[in-house]
């Protein structure tokens, strides 16, 4: 993980200093983009989330106490933005299981053989059917590599709750992905409580 | 009593799910464009301060308008006394005074006594007349002498 961004740089960036902003963006953009991409899976949406996250961060910076890492603050803003979008629009389009060789999405491109691609697509679809907070927890933990404590801070939940979400969601994803791959109807297992 | 399941983070690991993180690198061209956009973006004011600022500006403008209006209002050379204002609103005071003595209390209440009785009597006259006629009519039938011979084809016909 890169060195934490100095808060002086953050303050100068928030006041509009172009050099500080460029420095801030250079040092935080990659991680923020990965997070947005892993949560949204769409390049255009990820870009919109990234831009809005910086805008919100700069707008609210005056009331912010410099404790912790600015990167964590950005992750929290970005995740909450994505949660807001998920709550407004639940995903209705299923992930296709017969993927073309040259798939348009990066997460599809990395799956090499056909079985793997089908499996990964089924897992993505199962993840997309989770409730917003467990879904964010799953993506932050498995895709983004965050620890349960950090996820709890981002999602305003105790670490124990995050673990419960992860445990139940993992079981549900496995069952649902298996059902999708074998062509059975989805098992009626309950959603993890949010 | 069973303890609730408390998995460690390593218990929760899953290689398949960890593949969800693949392929999320930012493309180089988009990265450059985003860095440029963030470096050159206008500095937004904090939301709360912006709203509060707008509120204060509006309140100050309204107060200034009132002060300027009061200061520039032309002074009237002959001030109007409050009684004249009341007079304009309510009409001349002599017009409000009663021109005739107040009517007697009985007149104020409504009809004069005799008039009221007449009205009650007129209301009752019709129904009373009907009742009287209903009582008198059967008596008149019994007391009345037959004035004409019995009609032909009646019971007296046997005598013929």
Q: Where are the domains of chain B?
A: 113-142
The verdict on A65 touching B (C-beta cutoff 8 Å) is no
Task: Convert A101-120 to b/e letters by CB count within 10 Å (16 or more is b).
Answer: eebebebbebbeeeeebbbb
CA B8 from chain center: how many Å? 65
ipTM of the complex: 0.73
The verdict on A142 touching B (C-beta cutoff 8 Å) is yes
Q: Predicted confidence band at A79 (pLDDT cuts at 50, 70, 90)?
A: very high
CA dist., res. B94 & res. B46, Å (int): 67
For A144-176, give the secondary structure using H, E and C: CCCCHHHHHHHHCCCHHHHHHHHHHHHHHHHHH
Which residues of chain A does B35 touch, with a Cβ-Cβ cutoff of 8 Å?
22, 25-26, 29
From the CA of A134, how many Å to the nearest CA of chain B?
14
Cβ <8 Å between B46 and A107: no
Tokens 């009205």, located at residue: B119
Domains of chain A, CATH where assigned: 7-88 (1.10.1740.10), 106-182 (1.10.10.10)
Nearest Cβ partner of B31 from A29, A55, A109?
Answer: A29
Whether the predicted pLDDT of A40 surpasses 70: yes
Structure-token pair, residue A79: 């995740």
The verdict on A145 touching B (C-beta cutoff 8 Å) is yes
Cβ <8 Å between A107 and B22: yes
Whether the predicted pLDDT of B98 surpasses 60: no
From the CA of A88, how many Å to the nearest CA of chain B?
22
The verdict on A165 touching B (C-beta cutoff 8 Å) is no
Q: Is the pTM here over 0.80, yes or no?
A: no
Quick: pLDDT tens for B62-82. Answer: 999 999 988 888 776 677 777
């Amino acid at each position: 993980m890169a060195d934490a961004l100095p808060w002086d740089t953050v303050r100068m960036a928030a006041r509009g200093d172009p050099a500080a902003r460029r420095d801030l963006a250079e040092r935080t953009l990659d991680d923020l983009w990965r997070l947005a991409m892993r949560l949204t899976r769409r390049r255009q949406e990820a870009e919109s989330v990234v831009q809005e996250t910086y805008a919100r961060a700069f707008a609210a910076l005056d009331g912010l106490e410099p404790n912790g890492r600015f990167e964590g603050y950005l992750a929290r803003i970005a995740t909450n933005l994505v949660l807001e979008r998920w709550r407004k629009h639940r995903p209705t389009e299923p992930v296709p299981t017969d993927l073309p060789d040259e798939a348009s999405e990066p997460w599809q491109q990395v799956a090499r053989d056909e079985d793997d691609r089908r499996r990964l697509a089924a897992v993505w679809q199962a993840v997309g059917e989770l409730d917003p907070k467990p879904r964010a927890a799953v993506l932050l933990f498995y895709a983004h590599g965050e620890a349960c404590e950090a996820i709890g801070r981002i999602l305003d939940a105790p670490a124990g709750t995050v673990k419960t979400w992860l445990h139940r969601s993992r079981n549900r994803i496995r069952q649902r992905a298996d059902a999708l791959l074998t062509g059975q109807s989805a098992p009626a297992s309950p959603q993890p409580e949010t | 009593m069973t303890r609730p399941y408390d998995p460690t983070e390593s218990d929760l690991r899953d290689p398949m799910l960890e593949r969800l993180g693949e392929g999320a690198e930012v493309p180089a061209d988009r990265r450059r464009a985003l860095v440029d956009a963030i470096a050159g973006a206008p500095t937004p004011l904090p939301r709360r301060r912006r709203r509060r600022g707008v509120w204060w500006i509006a309140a100050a403008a309204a107060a200034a308008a009132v002060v300027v209006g009061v200061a520039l209002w032309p002074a009237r050379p002959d001030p109007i006394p409050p009684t004249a204002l009341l007079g304009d609103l309510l009409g001349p005071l002599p017009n409000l005074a009663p021109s005739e003595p107040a009517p007697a209390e009985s007149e104020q209440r409504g009809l004069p006594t005799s008039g009221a009785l007449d009205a009650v009597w007129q209301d009752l006259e019709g129904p009373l007349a009907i009742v009287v006629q209903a009582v008198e009519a059967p008596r008149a039938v019994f007391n009345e002498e037959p004035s004409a011979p019995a009609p032909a084809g009646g019971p007296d016909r046997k005598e013929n």
